[in-house]
Structure 1
Amino acid sequence: MGKEKNPRRVADNEALAKAKMLKTSPQKLNLVAELIRGKKVEKALADLTFSKKRVSDDVKKCLQSAIANAENNHGLDVDSLIVAEAWVGKNITLKRGRPRARGRFGKIMKPFAEITIKVRQIEATTAGEQA
């Protein structure tokens, strides 16, 4: 009589994490997401640790959350995880302004973004080929 269980949004060998309301533009966030796409998670964490971009700390937290989800919720092996996908989306934009000459109003847009990271466990045979 109860409701059916929700189906999983990802495959059995995948886990994901999402970070919302990151105070940066999606274009800048996508530059950091490009650093980690397709890499093994330990290499991606090292790249984010030594990146000079301000938003790389938030992306690193999201990646660590995806790794923890894979290990604790789905029972995946951390050593054989790769960053399968990392996509960026827009969030809200705060509209601010400043008075300009001749009674005009200068718009100041303060964008927010969000990132979703999906990690996938790869088989041991392909893990050697990836490295």
Structure 2
Amino acid sequence: METKAILRNIHLSTQKSRLVANLIRGKSVEKAINILSFNRKKCAIIIKKVLESAIANAEHNNGEDIDTLKVKAIYIEKASIVKRFFARAKGRGNHISKKFCHIYVIVSSN
């Protein structure tokens, strides 16, 4: 049975997050947590928390065995962009785009 966990509006770039998500797609849960624990990127910590939430959902809501779980799907979607600017010389301004994303993790016992 499939169980999922969702984290919305997290302050990460989708492009940088997908690099880490590709590392754990299709792996067993134990191996995925091990990979994320030793990855030095900021998004690895956040994705690990979402994965642990999906594992807890599978155990509590569906009574799944943790040892048989695999990461069936993980995908990162683009969310809103907060636009800011900072002042430059001669009355000009440069744009800053602060990007957000949604993280979806689906674990399955198959």
Q: TM-score range by the shorter chain?
A: over 0.9
The separation in 2 between residues aligned to 1:20 and 1:51, in whole angstroms, is 22
User: Is 1:103 the equivalent of 2:91?
Assistant: yes
For 1:59 and 1:51, locate their aligned partners in 2 and report how far apart those are by CA, in whole Å: 11
**TM-score between both structures, scaled by the size of structure 2:** 0.95
Which residue of structure 2 lines up, in the alignment, with residue 17 of structure 1?
5
4+ runs of 1 displaced by more than 6 Å? none
- The higher radius of gyration belongs to 1
- Tell me, which stretches of 5 or more residues in structure 1 are unaligned? 1-12, 123-131
Structure 1 or 2: larger strand share? 2
Q: How many residues align?
A: 110
Within the candidate set 52, 62, 72, 1:84 is matched to: 72
Q: Paired residue for 1:74?
A: 62
Deviations 1:46-70 (A, max 9, x none): 0000001011111000000000111
Higher RCO (C-alpha under 8 Å, 6+ residues apart): 2
1:114 equivalenced with 2:102 (yes/no): yes
Distance 1:14 1:74 in 2: 9
- The TM-score, its normalising length taken from structure 1, stands at 0.80
Query: For structure 2, which runs of at least 5 residues remain unmatched after alignment?
Result: none
Shift of 1:92: 1.8
Q: CA deviation at 1:103?
A: 2.5
